[in-house]
Amino acid sequence: MNKEFKTDISPCKITDEELSQINKFTVRELTKDEVYTFNVVLCDNEVDRDCEQFDISALEKLAELFVGVTGIFDHNPKAENQNARIFSASCEKVAGKFNSLGEDYVCVKAKAYMPRTEKNKDIIAEIDAGIKKEVSVSCAVSGFTCSVCGGDMRYSSCSHIKGDEYDGHKCYCVLSDVQDAYEWSFVAVPAQMNAGVTKSYAKEFENMENCIKAIKNGNAVKLTEVQSKQLAEYIDKLEKQADDGKIYRQQLTQEAVKFALIAVPTLKSDSVEKMCSSVDTKELIKIKDAFKVKAGEIVPLSPQLKAKKYDNEVDNSDFKF
């Protein structure tokens, strides 16, 4: 997911210790005169415009994962992208400051460096002059907890909608379990093609998630043309996944039947198939595994059974004990 965050960028002085941190990332040892360093806040525990909030453990993990990650300045379309790299980052509580929920304000403060080259001259001058920019961080998260019921918002165990109010409580999603930090970049000009597209897409997608929830809840939903298209794309994606799921179930059923007939030779394949079709996929895996264990006990004792095949659809590789 991408998260945009308004940030201050400020130049910082570099210590000997920091220079050695930086030199861990460089091919050649750089001197203090050759590097330019600056502070940047990457993200915080504020509920953002997508009605999402990183929890503290997520911010701590992001601080850890963003060290060494390269960032891009997208602001100048005529220059090549200018790169900077984060060489240190930490999760910090800002004393006396609170987020909109009244919690202690916590943010990920990072330090980045870039070589003082001709190419970087302009951006260095801008940072020295004091600029405010929007930083976009891209990361993978696997925890999506509803602030109203504590349920998992992704797998629809809750019916709440981000941004809606429930008994005076505005629902938001708590992001946790950060898996990876991919990149960070500055998007200064909203008119920038890429930034604009990504943002509006992300926003529409959010709306669409809400819209699917509303449909599931049986509410009437009006869609814009863009949303209709996105919903269609989403359905396409789900159909593809469903097809994959069907193929997977077929394979599982074939294996279950194959092992069942070895484990219990008096069974008929169609009755095993019937049994398999009536359970969910998790149960089907358990059934297949149980028959596999049983079949494994029998096959080595009765080599003649190896020749017994269930259909030709299934190859025999599983029988190579």
Closer residue to Zn ion, CB minimum distance, 144 or 291: 144
Q: What are phi and psi of 91, to 5 degrees?
A: -95, 120
Least separation in angstroms between residue 128's CB and Zn ion is 47
Closer residue to Zn ion, CB minimum distance, 44 or 50: 50
Least separation in angstroms between residue 160's CB and Zn ion is 3
- CB within 8 A of 210, min separation 6: which ones? 161, 162, 163
Closer residue to Zn ion, CB minimum distance, 158 or 299: 158
Closer residue to Zn ion, CB minimum distance, 173 or 257: 173
Least separation in angstroms between residue 56's CB and Zn ion is 21
Between the CA of residue 285 and those of 215, 256, 280, 281, what are the distances in Å? 32, 8, 9, 6
Rg, C-alpha atoms of the chain: 27
Least separation in angstroms between residue 50's CB and Zn ion is 16
- CB within 8 A of 53, min separation 6: which ones? 45, 46, 47, 99, 101, 147, 172, 173, 174, 175
Helix (H, G, I), strand (E, B) or coil at 120: coil
Q: Which residues lie near Zn ion (CB under 5 A)?
A: 146, 148-149, 151, 158, 160
Environment class of 176 (CB within 10 Å of its CB; exposed 0-12, middle 13-18, buried 19+): middle
Specify the amino acid at residue 36: Y
Q: How far apart are CA 66 and CA 53, in angstroms?
A: 18
Q: Tokens 């990149």, residue?
A: 183
Least separation in angstroms between residue 214's CB and Zn ion is 14
What DSSP assignment string belongs to 251-286?
HHHHHHHHHHHHH-TTS-HHHHHHHHHTS-HHHHHH
Least separation in angstroms between residue 175's CB and Zn ion is 15
Residue nearest to Zn ion (CB): 158
Closer residue to Zn ion, CB minimum distance, 73 or 172: 172
Closer residue to Zn ion, CB minimum distance, 158 or 187: 158
Least separation in angstroms between residue 171's CB and Zn ion is 7
Closer residue to Zn ion, CB minimum distance, 19 or 148: 148
